[in-house]
Amino acid sequence: MKRSTLNVTFAIGFFATAIAILVARANPASSYEASIYTGTPTITWIAFAFALAIAASTALTCRGREQAYGIALGGTTVTAIVSLPTIRNYRFSGMGDALTHLGWTRDIIDGALAPHELFYPGFHAISTVFHYVGGVPIERGMLFVVAIAFLPFVLFVPLVVREMGGNGMAIGVAAIVSWMVLPINNIATHMGIHTNSNALFLVPVVIFAFLAYLRRRATIERLPFGLSPFSLLIYITGIGLLFMHPQQMINVVVLIAAVTGVQYLARRRYDDHPMLDHPTTYAHTAVLGVIFTAWAASNARFRGAVEGLISGVFAEDVGGSAEVDQAEASLGEVGGSLGELFVTMFLDLALVSLAVGLFILLVWLGRTRLDPETKSFVNYFAIALIPLTGMFFIYFVGTPTMAFRQIGFIAVILTILAGVGIARAIDALSGAITVPGGTAVAALLLGACLVLGLMTVFSSPIIYNPGQHVSDQKFSGYESTMEYGDEDIPLVGMGYDPYRYDHGINGVEGQESLSAATTASGTVEPDEFEEGNFSGAYGGVSYNFIVTEFDTTREIEVYQELHHSEAALAALEKDSGTNKVVSNDEFRMYNVQGDD
């Protein structure tokens, strides 16, 4: 294709992305959205799809500057998709950990907490900068940080593959696979304000610094004490990752330690090998390990997590198998299945894992034409997957949530290896048919996986998990409840404990928070509630019962009245011992008299 034609094509692609953003911005969310996919105008998705089609095709077929333009177009488009809650003016997004992070950020701004007192203060500190410098609300500043933290992922994954020695096809494939956002699984990693997940997107930055140290011989630019600039870059990026979330930092330490072990064995076994030309990483493993230990060992939250993991490993019915059985039973009751959910949420990751696994096997069998140095880098990552996968199984037995977070980190490594591995498969296919034919087949398969990956990057009813959009009405309802409610009366939700909103509104450290006051919180007992025994549905005591649009969407529409029914809510309205005290379009709070 002529350069002038390509320039026009790229201009059209960027124009399509701009149109998509403008249309989305012109149609803000005015009420709770169970799915950001259906809430966003159709023309926005059409424009995004058009831009991604141009980006994917040019990333595979072009080289040099034109390929960079295609990758930039795709990265910009996917970042815009990830930023839709901000673009469409969500008040806030996230109803679990996100609200606690909001509370910590509020504590920092109010002076109740110093950033260094948090175990992972990076996200919160950057959010405060937006609040102070930009003058934006705290909630919006945190949504900005989500988009900023994501950007390094789509930028550095193709750079890492290039640093490994990957050819133009490998760089293009790596970019497309990064647009699938494989680290997000919506079980323990989420696209939103979730520092463990946000940290995953910074991992390629540390890996890039690590590969730059291995490949580039810094002699003239040596710093004092013989320190390489690239070594310093590893330490700086590693500390940045530590401040975002320590779990991903320890994964990086394990990765570099595995490389250190491979280097040690290579030096004992071989007299001539490309790995022998790489500078050693012994010091980096030790320094990063010491930094992590010094930061984590003194933190009570870290010690508690380790104790919970150890007790979970040796306890019965705590591990992942128990949770899987419970989830399978619940899905069956609402007409779903684990198989269906797996295809929706993990098919693209499974296919990429299979492709990478076959590629590694061929590398170890000597059936690829990789140059020696690229093969060394592939072996580094492949061998590092062994201890990283071992950590997954330990987590799975002891703390299943941590196991799925570990899958998120493994997905980052698989995304990088997929660039090299799938590119080799395309080259082989092109040799069997034709280059245009092989590229076309690859584009179709990668495009299908890209669509599936972006369909599940946000939670929605399609994965039996309605979106966690916090609208103005819902936030206002909780603010009124926290401000005017009786602190001696428990706040009780319908399958959702309201204490997280207390974190977000009052802060986590404040004396007026539920954790510091006498007010308890929890959820009603579904069986008692459904039988109409509202007064006895929370231990027989009087309580304030909260129902939001999210609750009714989840319990009635998505869960199909598995735990709570519309009839029970209608009966609550007529109950003589119940009074509605706060109400708007998306929030209702009832004072329910107890048996006492």
- State mean pLDDT over 428-434: 90
CB atoms within 10 A of CB 523: 18
Helix (H, G, I), strand (E, B) or coil at 341: helix
pLDDT band at 331 (very low <50, low <70, confident <90, very high): low
Instruction: Assign 335 a pLDDT band (cuts: 50, 70, 90).
Output: low
Angle at 425 between CA 423 and CA 428, to 5 degrees: 115
Say if residue 400's pLDDT is above 90. Answer: no
**Local confidence band at 316 (pLDDT 50, 70, 90 cut-offs):** low
Among 128, 134, 139, smallest CA distance to 99 is for: 139
* pLDDT over 70 (residue 108): yes
| Segment (H or E) for 521 | strand 521-523
Query: Does the pLDDT value for residue 319 go beyond 90?
Result: no
Per-residue model confidence as pLDDT tens digits over 39-76: 999 999 999 999 999 999 999 999 999 999 999 999 99
pLDDT, tens digit, 9 for 90 and up, residues 156-171: 999 999 999 889 999 9
What is the average per-residue pLDDT within 394-400?
Answer: 83
Tokens 């990076």 appear where?
Answer: 122
- The secondary structure element, H or E, covering residue 122 is helix 122-134
Report which of residues 227 and 533 the model is more confident about. Answer: 533
SS (H, E, C) 456-514: CCCCCHHHCCCCCEECHHHHHHHHHHHHHCCCCCCEEECCCCCHHHHHHHHCCCCCCCC
Give residue 596's pLDDT: 67
Average pLDDT over residues 433-457: 93
pLDDT band at 516 (very low <50, low <70, confident <90, very high): very low
Q: Which backbone phi and psi does 479 adopt, to 5 degrees?
A: -60, -45
Residue 519 has pLDDT above 60, yes or no: no
> Are the CB atoms for 467 and 97 separated by under 8 Å?
no
With a cut of 70, say whether residue 579 has pLDDT above it.
Answer: yes
Which residue shows structure tokens 């969407």?
Answer: 553
State pTM to two decimals.
Answer: 0.93
| Token couple for 430 | 């092109």
- Provide the mean pLDDT of the chain: 89
Contact status, residue 312 vs residue 318, Cβ threshold 8 Å: yes
How many angstroms separate the CA atoms of 310 and 307, rounded? 5
- Please give the pLDDT value at position 219: 52
Band (pLDDT 50/70/90 cuts) for residue 117 is: confident
* pLDDT exceeds 60 at position 95: yes
Structure tokens at 27: 């149609």
In this model, does residue 192 exceed pLDDT 60? yes
Provide the pLDDT for residue 511.
Answer: 47
More confident residue, 511 or 374: 374
pLDDT at position 310 over 90: no
Token pair 């591995």 in the structure block, residue: 421
Q: Residue 279 gets which letter from DSSP? A: P
271 vs 206 pLDDT, higher one: 206
Tell me the range of 169-183, 398-412, 553-567, 576-590 where mean pLDDT is highest: 169-183
Supply the pLDDT for residue 521.
86
- What is the per-residue DSSP string for 26-63? HS---S--S-HHHHS-HHHHHHHHHHHHHHHHHHHH--
